[in-house]
Amino acid sequence: MFNKVLIANRGEIALRILRACKEMGIETVAAHSTADADAMHVRLADQSVCIGPPASRDSYLNMHEIVAACEITGADAIHPGYGFLSENAKFAEILEAHGITFIGPTSEHIKTMGDKIMAKQTAQRLGIPVVPGSDGAVTEDSEARRIAADIGYPVIIKAASGGGGRGMRVVNSEQEMEVALQTTRTEAGAAFGDDAVYIEKYLGKPRHIEVQVMGDGKGMGVHLGERDCSLQRRHQKVLEEANSPALTPEQRDKIGMICANAVGDLGYSGAGTIEFLYEDGEFYFIEMNTRLQVEHPVTEMITRIDLVNEQLRVASGQEMSFSQKDVRFQGHAIECRINAENARTFVPSPGEITYYHPPGGLGVRVDSGVFTGYKIPPYYDSLIGKLIVVGRNRAECLNRLRRSLDEFVVGGIQTTLPLFQDLVRNDDVIAGDYDIHWLENYLAQTG
Ligand code: ADP
């Protein structure tokens, strides 16, 4: 096992990683920007190194400074968390060259899954169901029209290098195709430096369901069930739950084993998430994230497996602490992402938290790094914490979530807590009856 791990991230996930390290007796180094000098994870880490000014490109994305921080402190591994450098193949390669362990998959696997066309082809080869569409990149208008006619309109044009919900355009009819193809290619070239696009069937009312996987890098893959992340705003997840209210145990087992076997065949190492759109009983692969996800705690709450602990084990060459037969799903968990934003306009609300009282009690987990007197810097993502609640079943989980949200007090700034207080009292949410467009429609109607 590692002696010392450098955490190349900030906020709640930096603290989450630090906690796992402490429980395993591993020393920690917090690599932080000047804006995060007072952060909780910096205070709790065994050592801390300032890696630059507030702007992410000069600090949390500054590979040179991060490697230097590793060498100065003698850390043997880096945990990248999510976002920032977590899916940067070049960073993983640089660490490999420096003899520092990147806590994640190989740079090759990051590269493959980072290119959407390659990812889709790999998924298909491994037996994962994909959205019907073009075999690879599409360059000619005539080819695009032929494929679209084949699969039927509407279709969606997607940039091979797109991400974060950008670089996509829905096409409703053949008349729109030529302009849409050209615009998406031009935009993709400008935004991602790669104008390759591909086409797939546009699904009208899917759910977003993703499978948590882990690989040992030696041919063994396991799954830890799925998360339903259909409640989204601008393609950003807002509330996530495990298991999905839409799946039967048989469906769960079937898609789970397909993913576990695929990860094993790939020789994948560490944690990953295989994302699907799900409609009318069918799964359609959209992408694989080769890192820990923001919403990983809902999986942890119903499996009682610490995913960061397992990542550290696998990255250091140890065996995972469990195998597929040990994975049991107990109860139901829901996570709410609490952002420092106005709950209606979603305008960021940085500033000083003058009062902070998180909820507690049975089945309640709050992953956050904030405290009374903490000043939220304006330079980063507005996520300030996650409320995760587990119950023996979905109804108990919702009751517990309702009372937890009512207990949660954050003073001095605006947060998205009021949105969740409304959502947990909504009939569709209570029934688990929603698709990926539900929240946008709800916001438009109640706005
Ligand atoms: P990104 O990498 O930008 O997040 P994804 O491929 O994961 O892109 O897609 C993001 C979102 O776009 C999905 O969650 C879904 O809302 C929508 N989307 C993507 N592909 C399709 C499709 N074929 N049909 C309908 N919606 C889609």
**Tens of pLDDT, residues 199-219:** 999 999 999 999 999 999 999
pLDDT tens per residue across span 278-296: 999 999 999 999 999 999 9
- What is the residue-averaged pLDDT of the chain? 97
pLDDT at 245 over 80: yes
- Residue with token string 């992410």: 56
Q: Give residues (CB < 6 A) around ligand 1.
A: 131, 156, 162-166, 168, 200-203, 208, 235, 275, 277, 286-287, 436
pLDDT at 276 over 80: yes
Half-sphere exposure of 76 (CA within 13 A, CB side): 10
pLDDT computed for residue 388 by the predictor: 99
Return the domain boundaries, the chain: 4-86, 132-201, 207-446
* Length reported for the chain: 447
| CATH class for the region spanning 207-446 | alpha beta
158, 231, 235, best to mutate for ligand 1 pocket (most atoms within 8 Å of CB): 235
Mean of pLDDT values over 362-389: 98
Residue 447 banded pLDDT, cuts 50, 70, 90: confident
CATH architecture classification, 132-201: 2-Layer Sandwich (3.30)
Positive or negative, the Cα torsion across 139, 144, 147, 153? positive
pLDDT tens per residue across span 220-239: 999 999 999 999 999 899 99
Are 217 and 269 spatial neighbours (Cβ–Cβ below 8 Å)? Answer: yes
Residue 163 banded pLDDT, cuts 50, 70, 90: confident
Residue 166 banded pLDDT, cuts 50, 70, 90: confident
The CATH number for 4-86, chosen from 3.40.50.720, 3.90.180.10, 3.40.50.20, 3.40.50.620, is: 3.40.50.20
pLDDT computed for residue 164 by the predictor: 75
Mean of pLDDT values over 29-44: 98
Mean of pLDDT values over 249-258: 97
pLDDT at 97 over 80: yes
CA nearest neighbour of 421 among 442, 402, 435: 402
Mean of pLDDT values over 391-417: 98
Half-sphere exposure of 219 (CA within 13 A, CB side): 0
For residues 274 and 177, what is the distance between their CA atoms, to the nearest angstrom? Answer: 30
For residues 115 and 191, what is the distance between their CA atoms, to the nearest angstrom? Answer: 15
- Peptide bond before residue 350 is cis, with ω within 30 degrees of 0: no
Q: Determine the distance separating the centroid of ligand 1 and the alpha carbon of 197, expressed in angstroms.
A: 14
Task: Tell me the CA end-to-end span of the chain in Å, nearest whole number.
Answer: 52
Q: Measured from the CA of 200, which atom of ligand 1 is nearest? A: 23
Residue 261 banded pLDDT, cuts 50, 70, 90: very high
Residue 193 banded pLDDT, cuts 50, 70, 90: very high
| Residue with CA closest to ligand 1 atom 22 | 202
pLDDT tens per residue across span 6-31: 999 999 999 999 999 999 999 999 99
Q: Determine the distance separating the centroid of ligand 1 and the alpha carbon of 165, expressed in angstroms.
A: 7
pLDDT tens per residue across span 316-353: 999 999 999 999 999 999 999 999 999 999 999 999 99
For residues 40 and 60, what is the distance between their CA atoms, to the nearest angstrom? Answer: 17
> What string of H, E and C letters represents the secondary structure of the chain?
CCCEEEECCCHHHHHHHHHHHHHCCCEEEEEEEHHHCCCHHHHHCCEEEEEECCCHHHCCCCHHHHHHHHHHHCCCEEECCCCCCCCCHHHHHHHHHHCCEECCCCHHHHHHHHCHHHHHHHHHHCCCCECCECCCCCCCHHHHHHHHHHHCCCEEEEEEEEECCEEEEEECCHHHHHHHHHHHHHHHHHHHCCCCEEEEECCCCCEEEEEEEEEECCCCEEEEEEEEEEEEECCEEEEEEECCCCCCHHHHHHHHHHHHHHHHHHCCEEEEEEEEEEECCEEEEEEEECCCCCCHHHHHHHHCCCHHHHHHHHHCCCCCCCCHHHCCCCCEEEEEEEECECCCCCCECCEECCEEECCCCCCEEEEECCCCCCEECCCCCCEEEEEEEEECCHHHHHHHHHHHHHHCEEECCCCCHHHHHHHCCCHHHHHCCCCCCHHHHHHHHHC
Mean of pLDDT values over 161-181: 91
pLDDT computed for residue 235 by the predictor: 87
Mean of pLDDT values over 387-413: 98
Q: Which two tokens stand for residue 224?
A: 């830890």
Q: Determine the distance separating the centroid of ligand 1 and the alpha carbon of 336, expressed in angstroms.
A: 21
pLDDT > 90: what percent of the chain? 97
pLDDT tens per residue across span 50-80: 999 999 999 999 999 999 999 999 999 999 9
- Peptide bond before residue 243 is cis, with ω within 30 degrees of 0: yes
pTM for this prediction: 0.96
